[in-house]
Chains A and B, each alone.
Chain A
Amino acid sequence: MSKTDATNSTSDRGGPRQPLIIAKNLKKHFPIRSGMLNRQTATVHAVDGISFDVKKGETLGIVGESGCGKSTTARLLIGLIELDDGSIIFDGDVLGSDIKLKELRRGVQMVFQDSYASLNPRMTILDSIAFGPKIHDHKDPASVARNLMERVGLDPERFAMRYPHELSGGQRQRVNIARALALSPRLVILDEAVSALDKSVEAQVLNLLSDLREELDLTYVFISHDLNVVRYISDRVLVMYLGEVVEVGPVEAVYKEQAHPYTASLFAAMPSMDPDNRTEEPPLAGDPPNPIDPPTGCRFHTRCRFSESVCSKVKPKLNVIADNPDHLAACHIKDVGSGHSLAAQEAGE
């Protein structure tokens, strides 16, 4: 690939219909080694064959509980960890064969949850933001950084020469956002980027993210455990459970009616906010199982109240829900031919 191509890698090439990023059958297993010989004794099935795409200009929310593979997925998308299997296609270019990692990173950037740990404590705010442009041979990294600081609401005069420990959590997260934007990426992955902030500050940062998306024509992958926040910011939502996708669909469709029993439980577990109508029954018993040794068949069958014998044997496929081609769920109940007793009823309705 020539140098001119590399500098153009952040401009649109595939056209509006080409998804910005396609994840195909992503797989990542982490070995667990123990004992004197450090032999592999177990495997964490962090991400187990998930596929999705992110369209240009949309925000895809990813929700799920700890250990479901949300963060691993994010790290795979930006190439922080190597894929075991599957491929990542960025605007029509396959990572590895068509574009190199450094080129992908111009187009995809990330903001992490821990605003303090993700900044170098020995670098000033200005240097941190200017670092990316410097590495990518920008002519004037410092002015890029100053402009961005202004854009995210940090006065360059006051903050440029400060160190991360001199800033509040909300301000540090603004720095992280500015740094992610320094290479003018097209896709920004926000991995629980507002979760550690206080509620009043969280709202400010969400407003900033909405403004930036509009102004800079950005696409977001927004990972969070807070369903209210995901609903507010996302166009589509993807629900993960133990390394697999259980449901994906337009935010309003999924929030109105959850097709997968796990999604339904996740929504029912939200605090009610109505003092006269509090939750009486927990929707699920027990903790999520360990991803080291996930259940067979449908991974949710151990906690699902509709579980039948087919659920523990056969892995369900993603099926279209209610004639909405964008709304998919991996549940035997939603698959007419699966042999689940409720599937026939659903079809009969």
Chain B
Amino acid sequence: MTQTPLVEFENLKVRFKGERTVHAINGLNLSLQPGEMLGLLGESGSGKSVTLKTLLRLLPPKRSELEGSVRVNGTDIMTLSGNALASYRGGDVSMVFQEPALALDPVYTIGDQIAETVMRHKGIGKTAAMDVALDMLTRVRIPSPERRLKNYPHELSGGMRQRAMIALALSCRPKLLLADEPTTALDATVQIQILLLLRELQKEFGMGVIFVTHDIGVAVEVSDKIAIMYAGNLVETGTTRDVIRNPQHPYTKGLLAANLHGVVKGERLDAIPGSPPALEEPPHCCSFAPRCAFAEDRCRSDLPPVTDLGGGHSVSCVLAASTTTA
């Protein structure tokens, strides 16, 4: 692949200081090609949201310490400041949040909010910007978009608000869209509508998408690739098909079992024991070892090697390493 990756994380480390130190991200390596849809999957505290916030430079500067590099389209985003940062945010990269009711401004109409973004980034007048806003509302399939332009966020239903949020995020045609659990707060029948909409718009606009979710089913529904995070690092990455059909990491297997898809009633669940680590120390061994049924001595003494299984499928586990070399 000679193409410049759209996003490239190189050995990213994020630490939060304060009363107690939290090692939120511990040496993340991940890349995303233009036009690719990546599902970033993990439980609470695994570092998915911190990864997205790092990409938008939204972490509190005084309290967070970063190491490693993050490049978007070849530019090291850590060097951005002032106007360059402002046009990067919302222009090149934008984000859809979990709770649209909180992310949208309650005192401006939907049309004004979209138009403001467009005017700011594209430097066009209000009338032209309103046309863009109308076009965006049509594209996200909001019924009677002319009327909705003049609505305030509280006048829309949950699903409609999330559509408006997507319209806002896509109004400047970003190359990269970050979606942080965009359907978690929605009802099941609305969730599937939004997932399919995002899939379509991604194809239409050809943008790269990082879709953060804790729901493995949602990730399967939207993504080309899946990356699974645990305790601030990736445990397994690969095409959606490889990860779902042929999971290698014990944690991935546990997550798939915990989804209860096709489980027999009354059968005992194969639950992963224990709970995720507190991340007060940087990991010196496999973070999953204390909960892993296959843990060996070396899992508790050394960091697990990352094994490339081919076809972009890589796993960070000693078990996968030993099977490929054997």
A251 and B265 contact, CB distance less than 8 A? yes
CB distance B260 to A232 under 8 Å? yes
- Assess whether B216 is interfacial by the CB under 8 Å rule: yes
| A-B contact sample (10 more), CB < 8 A, given A231-B260, A266-B189 | A200-B272, A203-B260, A206-B271, A210-B268, A232-B263, A265-B189, A266-B188, A271-B192, A272-B221, A274-B220
Number of interface residues of B (CB under 8 A): 46
Determine whether the beta carbon of A278 is less than 8 Å from that of B220. Answer: yes
Residues of A contacting B269 in the complex (Cβ-Cβ under 8 angstroms)? 203-204, 206-207, 232
In whole Å, how far is B264's beta carbon from the nearest beta carbon of chain A?
8
Task: Give the nearest-CB partner of B159 in chain A.
Answer: A287
Q: Mark A216-237, 1 if CB is under 8 A from B, else 0.
A: 0000000001111101110000
Quick check: A288 and B187 within 8 Å, CB to CB? yes
- Is A65 in the interface zone, CB < 8 Å from B? yes
Given A65-B187, A271-B217, A228 contacting B159 (CB threshold 8 A): no
Segment with Cβ contacts to A, from B3-11, B119-127, B250-258, B307-315: B250-258
Q: Mind listing 23 A-B residue pairs with CB under 8 Å?
A: A65-B189, A198-B44, A200-B271, A200-B291, A202-B258, A203-B258, A204-B269, A206-B271, A225-B188, A231-B260, A231-B265, A266-B188, A269-B189, A271-B215, A271-B218, A273-B259, A275-B244, A279-B196, A279-B221, A282-B196, A284-B193, A286-B159, A288-B187
Closest 8 CB pairs of A and B: A271-B217, A203-B271, A198-B43, A65-B187, A200-B272, A228-B260, A287-B157, A199-B258
Residue A32, interface by CB 8 Å: no
Chain A residue nearest to B45 (CB atoms) is A198
Determine whether the beta carbon of B257 is less than 8 Å from that of A203.
Answer: yes
**Does residue A322 face the partner (Cβ distance < 8 Å to B)?**
no
Give the residue name and chain of the A residue nearest to B161 (CB). Answer: A287
Q: Which of A146-185 contact B (CB under 8 A)?
A: 168-171
Residue-wise, chain B 165-204 has the 8 Å CB interface mask toward A (1 for contact) of 0000000000000000000000111111101100000000
Interface of B is mostly: helix
Nearest-Cβ distance from residue A312 to partner chain B, whole angstroms: 20
- What residues of chain B have their CB less than 8 Å away from a CB belonging to chain A? 43-44, 143, 157-160, 187-193, 195-196, 214-218, 220-221, 240-241, 244-245, 254-255, 257-261, 263, 265-266, 268-273, 275-276, 291
Q: Are B259 and A287 in contact (CB under 8 A)?
A: no
Distance A279 CA – B160 CA, assembled complex (angstroms): 20
**Interfacial residues of chain A within 272-328, with CB under 8 A of chain B in the complex:** 272-276, 278-288
Interface assignment of A25: CB less than 8 Å from any CB of chain B: no
Interface pair B214/A275, CB less than 8 Å apart: no
* Cβ contacts under 8 Å, B217 to chain A: 270-273
C-alpha gap A152/B260 in the complex (Å)? 22
Taking a contact as CB atoms closer than 8 A, the residue among B43, B193, B245 that contacts A282 in the complex is: B193
- In the bound assembly, the distance between CA atoms of A285 and B194 in angstroms comes to 10
- Give how many A residues have a beta carbon under 8 Å from the other chain's beta carbons: 48
Least Cβ–Cβ distance between A272 and chain B, in angstroms: 6
Q: Which residue of A lies closest to B41 (CB)?
A: A199
Contact between chains at A198 and B271 (CB < 8 Å):
no
Q: Which residue of A lies closest to B240 (CB)?
A: A275
Decide if A269 touches B44 in the complex (CB within 8 Å).
no
Q: B244 — which chain A residues lie within 8 A by C-beta?
A: 273-275
For B265, list chain A residues within 8 Å (CB).
231-233, 251-252
Q: Which of B188, B271, B272, B273 has the most CB of A within 10 A?
A: B188
For the complex formed, measure the closest distance between the CB of B28 and the CB atoms of chain A, giving whole angstroms: 20
Question: Which chain A residues border B275 with CB–CB below 8 Å?
Answer: 168, 170-171, 200-201
